[in-house]
C-alpha cells in the first residue's frame, strides 16, 4: 500500500512529465483565469489524470505532438482529482463540453474551439493521439486560420 510520501512522489512524476516539456501547471482557479483570459494565439489545456490512459496514451501522445512545425503558443495543464478547484474552473471555459479526464482542450485567441475527450484517447495509441493533435495544430493553429474543431 502506498503511503503519503510514495503517493505524492508518484503524482509529482505525473505532473513533471508535462512541465518538463514546457507545459505550465495551473493549480488554482485564479491561475486558470489569469492564464486563459490573457492567453494570445493558440492555447491547449491538458486535463491531467492518474488513470492508465493518461499515463500510457494521453501524456505521451501530447508530448509527441509537440514535435511538429506548428505547436500551440500556450501550453497549460490542470490535474483532475488533485487540483479540483483549478480543474473545475478550467472546465468552465470548455463551453458545453462534459467533464472528461484526461482530455485536451483547444483555444484560439481566447475562443474555445473544441476538446479531445477521454473516449477519443483511451482506445488509441500515443502515436495515434500525437498524429491527431498534430493535425489539429496544423489545421487550426496556423495564424491565419479561425475555425471550430469538430471532434471525430
* From 11, 51, 55, 97, the catalytic residue: 51
- Residue 15 CA to residue 61 CA, distance in Å, equals 15
Instruction: Please say if 91 is a catalytic residue.
Output: no
CA angle 67, 69, 72 (to 5 degrees): 80
Active site residue 51: yes
Per residue in 39-63, is it b (16+ CB within 10 Å) or e — as a string? beebbbbbbbbbbebbbebbbbbbb
Distance between CA atoms of residues 3 and 123, nearest Å: 31
The C-alpha cell that represents 21 in the structure block: 516539456
Which of 26, 36, 45, 53 does the annotation list as catalytic? 53
Active-site residue list: 51, 53
Amino acid at each position: 500500500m502506498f503511503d503519503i510520501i510514495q503517493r505524492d512522489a508518484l503524482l509529482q512524476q505525473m505532473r513533471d512529465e508535462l512541465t518538463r516539456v514546457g507545459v505550465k501547471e495551473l493549480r488554482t482557479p485564479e491561475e486558470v483565469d489569469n492564464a486563459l483570459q490573457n492567453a494570445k494565439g493558440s492555447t491547449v489545456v491538458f486535463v491531467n489524470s492518474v488513470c492508465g490512459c493518461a499515463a500510457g496514451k494521453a501524456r505521451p501522445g501530447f508530448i509527441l505532438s509537440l514535435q511538429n512545425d506548428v505547436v500551440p503558443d500556450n501550453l497549460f495543464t490542470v490535474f483532475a482529482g488533485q487540483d479540483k478547484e483549478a480543474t473545475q474552473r478550467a472546465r468552465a471555459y470548455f463551453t458545453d463540453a462534459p467533464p472528461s479526464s484526461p482530455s485536451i482542450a483547444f483555444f484560439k485567441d481566447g475562443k474555445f474551439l473544441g476538446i479531445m475527450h477521454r473516449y477519443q484517447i483511451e482506445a488509441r495509441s500515443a502515436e495515434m493521439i500525437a498524429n491527431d493533435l498534430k493535425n489539429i495544430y496544423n489545421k487550426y493553429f496556423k495564424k491565419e486560420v479561425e475555425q471550430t474543431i469538430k471532434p471525430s
